Amino acid sequence: MRIATWNINGLRARLDFIKIWLQERDPDIVGLQELKMTDDIFPHDELAELGYHAITHGQKAWNGVAILSKHPVEAVHVGLPGQEDQGARFLAGRTADLTFATVYCPNGKNITHEDYPQKLQWFDALISFIESNHSVDESLVLCGDFNIVPTPLDSWSEQKLGGGIFHTDQERARFQSLLDWGFHDLHREYAPEDPGYSWWDYRGGAFHKKQGLRIDVLLGTPSVRERLQSVRADRDYRKKKDGLTASDHAPVFADLT
């Protein structure tokens, strides 16, 4: 089974690009973030032609998450309770033999912005929700754009960026709380020393300069970790394809037995 996460930075702008990726990489389950569209215009029919069922939690022009699956998928949690003001950022479903959740975590902008404490509160709500509604004994995947660089290894320059947004002790403590609950960071389990960057700024030639961050993550409970075969940040799909512009995020996928 191949599971994946991808911040697509606008589904309407990226649909043809995504369809190329789906056909070439053939994932079984995908968590998408930053749809930037409402549920009523989600392209269910076009994705069904490629063999994918979909559930969505959309929002006009901003945010929005979806789960695509080759298997029937049933929504079990739509939205993060108490965090509705932060937009459409959380969706969980049951599909195949997994509970699969996708998140588009708040950015926070910078550490002096009012969005930063709201970001930390959103993570506190996420952690509380997981603790109250899920068990470490279930086969649970939590994936998405976390907008946190978990460790210095995951940043192209901790020296320049450390202490700034995505790199703060407070953000990293929230990420660690998810691991302490029982999640495994699948990329880090598979490749302990590989930075595995998944996002590069569009500006300044960051991709070609290898100035990336690993902020797109697949987390799994122990039963998922036991099935892990490989993980890959799909850098090839951070490049243009057939004249189509890529997202600023690469897809990240893991192969399970």
Q: What is d(CA 194, CA 185) in angstroms, rounded to the nearest whole number?
A: 13
CB atoms within 10 A of CB 18: 23
Chain CA centroid to CA 216, Å: 5
The answer to whether the beta carbons of residues 95 and 72 sit under 8 Å apart is yes
What count of Cα atoms within 13 Å lies in the side-chain half-sphere of residue 126?
Answer: 28
CB atoms within 10 A of CB 202: 12
Q: What is d(CA 80, CA 96) in angstroms, rounded to the nearest whole number?
A: 23
Tell me the torsion sign for CA atoms 178, 180, 182, 184: positive
Q: What is d(CA 155, CA 167) in angstroms, rounded to the nearest whole number?
A: 8
The answer to whether the beta carbons of residues 196 and 154 sit under 8 Å apart is yes
CB atoms within 10 A of CB 84: 10
Q: Which residues are catalytic?
A: 104, 145
The answer to whether the beta carbons of residues 38 and 44 sit under 8 Å apart is no
